[in-house]
Amino acid sequence: MYNARALGGVVLLLLVVVVLHCNVVTLVSAQGSNTGPRWQTLSGGPPSVVARGGFSGLVPDSSLAAYILAVKLGVPDVIVWCDVQLTKDAIGICFPDIKLQNASNIADVYKGKDKVYLVNGVPTRGWFPIDYTINDLANVILTQGVYSRTNKFDGNLYAILTVEDMFTEVKPPGLWLNIQHDAFYAQHNLSMRSYILSVSRSVVVSYISSPEVGFLRSIAARFNPKITKLVFRFLKQTEIEPTTNQTYGSLLGNLTFIKTFAPGILVPKDYIWPIDASQYLLPHTSLVADAHKEGLEVFASDFSNDVPYSFNFSYDPLAEYLQFIDNGDFSVDGVLSDFPITSSAAIDCFSHLGRNASNQVDLKVISKNGASGDFPSCTNLAYQQAISDGADVIDCPVQMSKDGTPFCFSSINLIDSTTASQSNYSNYAMTIPEIMENSGIFAFNLTWDEIQTLTPAISNPFSRYRMFRNPKFRNAGNFLKLSDFLALAKKSNTLSGVLISIENAAYLAEKQGLGVTDAVMTALKDGCYDNQTDLKVMIQSTSSSVLMKFKDNDKYEIVYRIEKSIRDASNTSVVDIKRFADSVVVNKESVFPLNAAFLTKLTDVIAKLQAFKLPVYVEVFSNEFVSQAWDFFSDATVEINSFVLGTGINGVITGFPETAARYRKNSCLRKDLTTPPNYMSPLQPGSLIQLVTPQYMPSAVAPMPILTESDIAEPPLPPVHYKKMPILTESDIAEPPLPPVHYKKKHISSLNYLLRKVFFAIQLTLQLSRPPNSTGAEDDGGRKRRRRRGREGAAATATTRRRRRGTSSDDGDGIWRVSAVLLHSHHRHTLQLLGGSSCRRRRSDDGDVKSRRGAGGCGGGESGGGQRKPSRSRRRCRCSSLVAVAVSSPSSLHPPDRVAAVASCRRRPLLLLSWVVC
């Protein structure tokens, strides 16, 4: 039955398709390239895409819109799935559920007419099709039945379709009829069997599935298996199949029996890849191989982009399909999906790519805090994962610890990616309005040693949707000093660069006495990054004054990050940016502004910046579908594709680099294909929201601002206002070493307690400087000292142990000249003790030993094997060191909290020992 409203639907639908795809006429497919014997399906051909209720992930299930979209956006031989229900007058309709209130407005149209029937023995309340004729249903419209999907199309008056109308209107390449409740209809004197037999005379049915053995057996003899294949549908393993009175689990044990009436089976995906209680994949079962041996085709169901699946797939729906169709062991013969665009792309564009597939598009993949979608931000694990995922650039947001160690951490607020708020440091929380409104535990208030005791915590930006990242590893990994990060990057032979981002530099310099730009420059120099071409160094900041400081080194790519959302940039502002920056980072909304999570248009931002030859990188891409506009169909790959093909961005910044890196290899973007297939075409922004009817239209949002010059201009960075520990310049060190005790003796003698500390510091320094193996006598002495000095001693030995491990590759024959220099005395009670010392030699043959000072090794010896050649082999490294001991006023004297050691090399301080008494 076909009515006027359905006609309206068609008109709307044509609109959908035309606006969605500028190249709707060219239904070109890359399919064919992937045919051949490579598929491990039963037939050897590519698996089928079965669109459940059409493109039901976007528009109401079983609506004409859903079916047409599925045909337009799926592979050319897509099969559309119709759940057949029978009306009171025995007409078959497509509807996803036996209860009509599930995906329609029938509860409003027939208020209070709900009934209770036994469905498979279970009393069920609702509006059932057996109580309504097709004419009764003419006033009922289809609505979105899944609450996590947009209801904005509920006003589009999509009518309930009969099977025949659907077939005539949609002309699907393949039609799949699912008969879920034959027994129920039989109880109500409606024969599904007669209906199916009669409808198959007017429409071509490719597949008929049912979870009821009796039904399939009753029709098996009536269908030519070359035209219509019967498929036995397995439900949950524990459910009872009504005809045999066995569970589906036990029926699985006799596939020979199934084969007697059906040449195919449809199973929930966990029959093939089971998952454990914590949602991780278990090894696959032998089901597909067993069924193929029997000659049964295997279809897998329950694929949906917007329902959380196993954590192994990192919220990437494409990865899940590939696990079923391209795992090296087997391929299922078809997938039943609510999002046929994703399964189509998986089969046609991403299967059989192989490890060495080349990139088809130029797109820089930059990590966001490493692979922060899989591991805690900025940990060694996150960075290693990003490298193995194929990121081009890994990123280090630099923070400064209280003792001046630059390290990689997602935020200046330690609460963001650690369990700091539940740690001993929770009382360090404070509010600093210059940095952020809320209170935080700030990096510069803890020493590096303290920070290392914090437990990393995986970032869960979508926890309010109950979507969590890789819980098994939520507290795994270690944080890295900037120097360790640089050394790690050098070891990779796939990275093309590193991105170092610097924020809050002015605050840190002025209020905390921490020079973050200097620290970064030093680390880059010590890591031999300032004079090399292997790895590109990108310096990123939202502050033009920070970037100005780096712009003189033309080996660095200066990246200006525009934090706010903009709709355009004035020409003068871009000229301004161009003066100091080589590229720009903008957020996703500055490219595609949103309204109620629909794209409204494409801004001029990318075109404007690129017109000035500024490459543009866009942040932040995430796999979780809740982070994506509806227009991207809950598929991270569609989102990336729309940005790349639709706007020509130069790079993506993502916590899930694997998804972006795989996107580039996508064979549907091969240059020899003139047009990508529809499922790999960019969509027209704003086209989807146009389909929303006025009563569901979200209110318009205020346009975003235009970037102007004044947004960029900034005062130059203030000088670093040292609070406790000055950073020594070379000239400070060059002074002749002075014997510690004679110098400023008067001051020290007036501070007896301090003096002991000073001595202890020197002792400690000497101890640290001894070769790793000391004599037993000295060790005994050390123990005595420890006992005597209690906590101080414990702290000191802990540090000693650390140092020893850390420097175990040193030959130990270096001579340390220790001298204490009293440099500073802010006020009567504060002393700064500094000792310059010098040089240790590195064994020339220690290249295979990875020392923690490696980053400072400057010889390139640590840059690992691989293809990267050691730049120069330096036999020696002249170093100097200094020891700084800061002591605060006697009234607050306690044993020292921490002793931190920072080592670096080559004309730089080797050892900065800060001993802070709080």
Ligand X SMILES: *[C@@H]1O[C@H](CO)[C@@H](O)[C@H](O)[C@H]1NC(C)=O
Among 117, 223, 257, 261, binds ligand X (CB under 6 A): 257
> If binding is defined by CB under 6 A, does position 260 make contact with ligand X?
yes
In whole angstroms, the minimum distance from the beta carbon of 822 to ligand X comes to 23
Query: CA 511, CA 706: separation in Å to the nearest integer?
Result: 32
Q: Which is nearer to ligand X, 662 or 842 (CB)?
A: 842
Among 215, 428, 633, 656, binds ligand X (CB under 6 A): 428
Those residues whose C-beta lies under 8 Å from the C-beta of residue 123, and which sit 6 or more positions away, are: 116, 117
Type of residue found at 878 = R
> If binding is defined by CB under 6 A, does position 674 make contact with ligand X?
no
Q: Which is nearer to ligand X, 188 or 850 (CB)?
A: 188
In whole angstroms, the minimum distance from the beta carbon of 529 to ligand X comes to 11
Among 445, 654, 687, 914, binds ligand X (CB under 6 A): 445
> If binding is defined by CB under 6 A, does position 254 make contact with ligand X?
yes
Site string for ligand X, 520-559 (x = CB under 6 A): -----------xx---------------------------
> If binding is defined by CB under 6 A, does position 892 make contact with ligand X?
no
Among 695, 773, 775, 891, binds ligand X (CB under 6 A): 773
Among 575, 592, 593, residue whose Cα is nearest residue 584: 575
Query: CA 622, CA 654: separation in Å to the nearest integer?
Result: 6
> If binding is defined by CB under 6 A, does position 453 make contact with ligand X?
no
Q: How many CB atoms lie within 10 A of CB 776?
A: 7
Please give the structure tokens belonging to residue 457: 């915590």
Each residue of 48-62: b (16+ CB within 10 Å) or e?
bbbbbbbbbbbbbbb
> If binding is defined by CB under 6 A, does position 832 make contact with ligand X?
no
Q: Which is nearer to ligand X, 254 or 422 (CB)?
A: 254
Taking 3-state DSSP, the helix, strand and coil percentages for the chain, each rounded to the nearest 5, stand at: 35, 20, 45
Which residues, numbered 573-592, are part of the site for ligand X (CB under 6 A)? none
Q: Which stretch binds ligand X (CB under 6 A): 28-36, 255-263, 379-387, 502-510?
A: 255-263
Q: Which stretch binds ligand X (CB under 6 A): 250-258, 293-301, 308-316, 753-761?
A: 250-258
Query: CA 917, CA 833: separation in Å to the nearest integer?
Result: 13
Q: Which is nearer to ligand X, 568 or 810 (CB)?
A: 810
Please give the structure tokens belonging to residue 669: 């973007």
In whole angstroms, the minimum distance from the beta carbon of 724 to ligand X comes to 8
> If binding is defined by CB under 6 A, does position 146 make contact with ligand X?
yes
Residue 177, SS3 per DSSP:
strand
In whole angstroms, the minimum distance from the beta carbon of 553 to ligand X comes to 12
Cβ burial, residue 116 (10 Å; 0-12/13-18/19+): exposed
Indicate if the alpha-carbon torsion angle 206, 212, 213, 219 is positive or negative: negative
Among 273, 223, 260, 215, residue whose Cα is nearest residue 241: 215
Q: Which is nearer to ligand X, 95 or 167 (CB)?
A: 95
In whole angstroms, the minimum distance from the beta carbon of 332 to ligand X comes to 22
Query: CA 164, CA 147: separation in Å to the nearest integer?
Result: 29
In whole angstroms, the minimum distance from the beta carbon of 397 to ligand X comes to 20
Q: Which is nearer to ligand X, 47 or 60 (CB)?
A: 60
Q: How many CB atoms lie within 10 A of CB 742?
A: 8
Please give the structure tokens belonging to residue 708: 């102007």
Indicate if the alpha-carbon torsion angle 445, 450, 451, 453 is positive or negative: negative
Q: Which is nearer to ligand X, 469 or 840 (CB)?
A: 840
In whole angstroms, the minimum distance from the beta carbon of 918 to ligand X comes to 8
In whole angstroms, the minimum distance from the beta carbon of 799 to ligand X comes to 19
Cβ burial, residue 362 (10 Å; 0-12/13-18/19+): exposed
Q: Which is nearer to ligand X, 772 or 895 (CB)?
A: 772
**Residues 900/448, Cβ–Cβ less than 8 Å:** yes
Q: Is the peptide bond before 520 cis (omega within 30 degrees of 0)?
A: no
Query: What is the length of the chain?
Result: 918
In whole angstroms, the minimum distance from the beta carbon of 97 to ligand X comes to 5
Please give the structure tokens belonging to residue 144: 């979105």
Q: Which is nearer to ligand X, 213 or 636 (CB)?
A: 213
> If binding is defined by CB under 6 A, does position 117 make contact with ligand X?
no
Q: Which is nearer to ligand X, 146 or 523 (CB)?
A: 146
> If binding is defined by CB under 6 A, does position 871 make contact with ligand X?
yes
Q: Which stretch binds ligand X (CB under 6 A): 249-257, 535-543, 664-672, 782-790?
A: 249-257
Cβ burial, residue 136 (10 Å; 0-12/13-18/19+): middle
Among 52, 181, 269, 402, binds ligand X (CB under 6 A): 402
> If binding is defined by CB under 6 A, does position 439 make contact with ligand X?
no
# residues near ligand X by CB under 6 A = 21
Among 54, 74, 92, 145, binds ligand X (CB under 6 A): 145
Among 445, 447, 452, 449, residue whose Cα is nearest residue 431: 445
Type of residue found at 509 = A
Which residues, numbered 191-230, are part of the site for ligand X (CB under 6 A)? none
In whole angstroms, the minimum distance from the beta carbon of 304 to ligand X comes to 10
Strand partners, 498: 394, 537
Phi-psi map region of 694: left, alpha, beta (phi>0 left; psi -120 to 50 alpha): alpha
Q: Nearest 5 degrees, angle CA 26-CA 30-CA 36?
A: 145
In whole angstroms, the minimum distance from the beta carbon of 189 to ligand X comes to 4
What is each CA distance from 122 to 103, 125, 529, 803, in whole angstroms? 21, 10, 70, 70
> If binding is defined by CB under 6 A, does position 493 make contact with ligand X?
no
Q: Which is nearer to ligand X, 189 or 278 (CB)?
A: 189
In whole angstroms, the minimum distance from the beta carbon of 144 to ligand X comes to 9
In whole angstroms, the minimum distance from the beta carbon of 427 to ligand X comes to 6
In whole angstroms, the minimum distance from the beta carbon of 708 to ligand X comes to 36
Question: Residue with structure tokens 């000073």?
Answer: 758
In whole angstroms, the minimum distance from the beta carbon of 916 to ligand X comes to 9
Residue 116, SS3 per DSSP:
strand
**Residues 49/333, Cβ–Cβ less than 8 Å:** no
Q: Which is nearer to ligand X, 306 or 389 (CB)?
A: 306
Site string for ligand X, 96-115 (x = CB under 6 A): -x----x-------------
Q: How many CB atoms lie within 10 A of CB 812?
A: 17
Q: Which is nearer to ligand X, 126 or 615 (CB)?
A: 126
In whole angstroms, the minimum distance from the beta carbon of 88 to ligand X comes to 10
> If binding is defined by CB under 6 A, does position 188 make contact with ligand X?
yes
Residue 407, SS3 per DSSP:
strand
In whole angstroms, the minimum distance from the beta carbon of 187 to ligand X comes to 6
> If binding is defined by CB under 6 A, does position 189 make contact with ligand X?
yes
In whole angstroms, the minimum distance from the beta carbon of 240 to ligand X comes to 7
Among 812, 814, 864, 870, binds ligand X (CB under 6 A): 812
Query: CA 756, CA 744: separation in Å to the nearest integer?
Result: 15
Type of residue found at 616 = V
Please give the structure tokens belonging to residue 464: 């309010």
Among 224, 245, 699, 891, binds ligand X (CB under 6 A): 245
Q: What are residue 473's phi and psi, to 5 degrees?
A: -115, 25
Site string for ligand X, 55-94 (x = CB under 6 A): ----------------------------------------
Cβ burial, residue 441 (10 Å; 0-12/13-18/19+): buried
Positions touching ligand X (CB under 6 A) are 97, 102, 145-146, 188-189, 245, 254, 256-257, 260, 402, 428, 430, 445, 531-532, 772-773, 812, 871
